[in-house]
Structure 1
Amino acid sequence: MLDRNEDILKAAEDWHRGGHGVALATVVETWGSAPRPVGSNLVINDEGTFLGSVSGGCVEGAVVTEALDVISSGQPKMLEFGVADETAWNVGLSCGGTIRVFVEKVG
Structure 2
Amino acid sequence: MTSRDSEDVLGTAAAWRAAGETVALATVVETWGSSPRPAGSRMAVTASGRMAGSVSGGCIEGAVADAAKQTMATGAPQLLDFGISDERAWEVGLACGGKLKVFVEKLS
The TM-score normalised by the length of structure 2 is 0.87
- Equivalent pairs counted in the alignment come to 103
Q: Which residue of 1 aligns with 2:70?
A: 69
Matched, 1:99 2:94: no
Alignment check: 8 A CA contact 2:79 2:103 kept: yes
- When the two chains are superposed, the root-mean-square deviation of aligned CA atoms in Å is 1.7
User: In the aligned structure 1, how far is the partner of 2:28 from the partner of 2:4?
Assistant: 17
- Larger-gyration structure (1/2): 2
Greater shift in the superposed pair: 14-23 or 89-98: 89-98
* Matched-pair identity in %: 52
User: In the aligned structure 2, how far is the partner of 1:70 from the partner of 1:89?
Assistant: 28
Matches within 5 A, 1:1-107: 1-4=3-6, 7-84=8-85, 91-107=92-108
Unaligned residue ranges in structure 2 (runs of 5+): none
Q: How far apart are 1:89 and its partner, in Å?
A: 6.7
Alignment check: 8 A CA contact 1:59 1:91 kept: no
User: In the aligned structure 1, how far is the partner of 2:51 from the partner of 2:91?
Assistant: 21
The TM-score normalised by the length of structure 1 is 0.88
Unaligned residue ranges in structure 1 (runs of 5+): none
Moved over 6 A (4+): none
